[in-house]
Structure 1
Amino acid sequence: MALRVGIIGAHHWAEKAHLPGYAAHDGVEIAAICDIERDRAEALAAQFGAKAVYTDHRAMLADPTIAMIDVCTPTATHLPLSLDVIAAGKHVMSEKPLHTLAAPAFDAARRASERGVRTKLGFTFRYSPAIRLLKHWIDAGELGEIFHIHGLEQNSQFLDPDFPLRQFDVTAPRDRLIPASIVGYGSHLVDLMRWVGGEFAAVASSMRNFVPERLVRGLDGRQRFQVEDGTVALVDYADGAQGMLQTSYVAVGNYPGIELRVYGSRGAAVARLVTEFGVAETLHRATADDVEFRPVDLATADLPPGTDLGTPWPELYFRNLIRFFVDEIIEGRPEECTFHDGAKSQQIVDAIVAAHFERRWVEVGST
């Protein structure tokens, strides 16, 4: 029997990333789509074959045949909607961040565990074929003892001051630096670096505003906000490795702009998740005895069924994410990339922000 899934949120990201992933999985039935804009929900229901449309998520949660809910909505709604899903006893996948504070995210993870439901957070880049192969090399000891892990976010989306800044609180104070790139982009890098390298012990950081005036969605004309356009952080890993992390709104580069570099005693690898010349990602590897980095071709088995490296990255990575979550539920596989992982990422982001403002190393909690 197919896993019946309901989607909350019927806009761009649902259409381009989430729904194609479910449609591509033979074990899934897209049962329902919910959005406060009924016409949007009806349009996507027709496109993806959902038989039911809702404007109230609580009515959808009342359907006992729906086993899993996907929360693909604006940031502020992720936690309350996810808590409603957990209370209804259904598995839940939420876009990130679950919350902009760590404590409520840890609480949601605890509630899910107590209710016996599975969770998945939309850390898209864990499901890059190149990243997953790099992770396999680390776990298999092929790179040896890991010394350095560097995570870079190279995306110049907001370099142009006349490209409107989205998901920004227009009531934010104008006389102090507002964390932005470290929150929106940094959580992805933190999750990847923690996944491949283990727990963070402590962080130090520097944050900057580089574009003093820009358009902000919801306000007229250029606005002067001290938006954090770039953060650089140093990481002490619990096992002794060193890390460096950079997030940026203004570093020239293309979507999605993620680069992960890992250096060990037996070799090194560089995964670039940057769409260039029609290719979504590249992977290079070197050894201690052959130090020139050589490209690694990903096998068909490393890719989600029906994709290749020319598939647009939102669909490529989300097909994998959804494939893994559905199979975890259907086959009882161990969970990964859960709400707890989202809470840990937020905890580390909070520490990075505190390190900048307090001008010191900040220890990361062990929760």
Structure 2
Amino acid sequence: MDKLRVAVVGAGRWARRAHLPGWSRDPRVEVVALVDSDPVALGEAARLFGVGRTFEDYRQVLDDPTVDVVDVATANTAHFEVSAAAIAAGKHVLCEKPVHRDYRETQRLAEAAASRGLKTKLGFTFRYAPAVLHAKSLIDAGFVGTPYLFNGFEQNSQWIDPATPMRQVDPDADPAVIATSSIEGYGAPIIDIMHWWAGARLTSVVGTMRNFVPERVVLATGRSQRLNIDDGDMWICEFDNDLVASIQSSYVAVGALPGIEARFYGSEGAVIVRLAQESGGCQTIRTATKDEPEFVEREIPARFFPPGATSAEAWDSLFYANLCADFTTEILDGGATNQGDFAQGALVQETINAFEASFRRRAWVDLPLGGVA
């Protein structure tokens, strides 16, 4: 295989801002089909990105031998169904998070793909930010020494205004019971970075979540209503290498998109990465050492960027270009490498499931969860 042929399922906002631009800038890739149940959105995206074949039912691309990869960029409720069908049809799969709200179902698909020699990838956009990749290379080289502390934030003010229509929520959910929202939709990528940088096993978690904006407009209904969802949360995590970590997520915290910050402290040094569209760029990395404790900004080497890219680009297209290029390399090379895959997605979802269990029980929760979801 010398060229990867991709069918993108979903032609909405995120597909047009991240997925389709990401695939389009890689000369090793051809987007051969686009699928969406909305014919208007489908036609607009196909024209914008020059996709010749369009379908309104994803099943129409599964038996197509010219399709190597199915990219699932649909609403959350369709992720598991489309991913499972694509794996059963022998396709590599990129899927937006979460694959499923129960980590065991995500793990089941990870195992199904592995048994067929297929590669999978989750839409963990921020692990592919050049600043995050550079930080990981420093950590692997021993820059921080023995890890002590990790602090992870994913927060911005995307839905601080209750008049901004809220997506991906159930308007019929019981308002008496708070539902996970920010920690699942926003928290997953920073949880992924926490696990990736920690390089150790998570053993226990505790934390809480809150609903700060009690009523808001729901996109599905166009009406303002009581919506008891987690729009801000905090968690503490313990690892088997004695690392202690914290996670905080919110989409009602004032700040610029995407609002990621990852801080890693150890015996020899520390790394702080910030991903936010501010001050003319979208990312920074600052480091300090025990001998020079003042944090200074570092230049990000060109090797961590897509060809010709800079930090002045929009964050979504820049970071997703790296994600698509990474998946393309993994598939075309044919080796065992497959980072950020469904197994990693299952680990992140298990962490989220443990967070929720901790909140419901008002207690520490140990991992692995076993039968708990």
Cα shift readout 1:138-191 (whole Å, capped 9, x = no counterpart): 111111000000001221112222222211101110112121111111111111
- Which segment drifts farther, 342-351 or 213-222? 213-222
Residue 191 of structure 1: aligned partner = 192
Residue 239 of structure 1: aligned partner = 241
Residue 276 of structure 2: aligned partner = 274
Residue 19 of structure 1: aligned partner = 20
Contact 2:155 2:186 in 1 (8 A): no
Q: How far apart, CA to CA, are the structure 1 residues paired with 2:358 and 2:41?
A: 43
- Structure 1: where are the runs of 5+ without partners? none
Task: Give the 3-state SS of the residue equivalent to 1:202 in structure 2.
Answer: strand
Q: What is the CA distance between 1:350 and its match in structure 2? A: 0.7
Q: Does 1:352 align with 2:362?
A: no
Residue 99 of structure 2: aligned partner = 98
Residue 206 of structure 2: aligned partner = 204
Cα shift readout 1:253-296 (whole Å, capped 9, x = no counterpart): 11001000000111001000111022001110000000000000
TM-score (norm 2): 0.95
- C-alpha spacing 1:226/1:35, structure 2 compared with 1 (3 Å): closer
Task: Give the 3-state SS of the residue equivalent to 1:337 in structure 2.
Answer: coil
Residue 38 of structure 1: aligned partner = 39
Q: What is the CA distance between 1:110 and its match in structure 2? A: 1.0
- The amino acid that maps onto 1:152 is F
Q: How far apart, CA to CA, are the structure 1 residues paired with 2:249 and 2:110?
A: 26
Residue 10 of structure 2: aligned partner = 9
Q: How far apart, CA to CA, are the structure 2 residues paired with 1:61 and 1:306?
A: 34
Q: How far apart, CA to CA, are the structure 2 residues paired with 1:190 and 1:25?
A: 28
- Which segment drifts farther, 114-123 or 212-221? 212-221
Residue 163 of structure 1: aligned partner = 164
Q: What is the CA distance between 1:220 and its match in structure 2? A: 5.2
Q: What is the CA distance between 1:38 and its match in structure 2? A: 3.1
Residue 338 of structure 2: aligned partner = 335
Task: Give the 3-state SS of the residue equivalent to 1:262 in structure 2.
Answer: strand
Q: How far apart, CA to CA, are the structure 1 residues paired with 2:270 and 2:68?
A: 42
- C-alpha spacing 1:321/1:160, structure 2 compared with 1 (3 Å): same
Residue 325 of structure 2: aligned partner = 323
- C-alpha spacing 1:178/1:366, structure 2 compared with 1 (3 Å): closer
The Cα RMSD (Å) is 1.4
- C-alpha spacing 1:43/1:250, structure 2 compared with 1 (3 Å): closer
Q: How far apart, CA to CA, are the structure 2 residues paired with 1:53 and 1:161?
A: 36
Task: Give the 3-state SS of the residue equivalent to 2:281 in structure 1.
Answer: coil
Q: How far apart, CA to CA, are the structure 1 residues paired with 2:173 and 2:270?
A: 42
Q: What is the CA distance between 1:85 and its match in structure 2? A: 0.6
Task: Give the 3-state SS of the residue equivalent to 1:275 in structure 2.
Answer: strand
- The amino acid that maps onto 1:256 is P
Task: Give the 3-state SS of the residue equivalent to 1:280 in structure 2.
Answer: strand
Q: Does 1:294 align with 2:305?
A: no
Task: Give the 3-state SS of the residue equivalent to 1:160 in structure 2.
Answer: coil
Structure 1 runs (4+) greater than 6 angstroms displaced: none
Residue 222 of structure 1: aligned partner = 224
Residue 123 of structure 1: aligned partner = 124
Identity of aligned residues (%): 39
Residue 365 of structure 1: aligned partner = 368
Residue 57 of structure 1: aligned partner = 58
Q: How far apart, CA to CA, are the structure 1 residues paired with 2:163 and 2:42?
A: 31
Task: Give the 3-state SS of the residue equivalent to 1:281 in structure 2.
Answer: strand
Task: Give the 3-state SS of the residue equivalent to 1:69 in structure 2.
Answer: strand
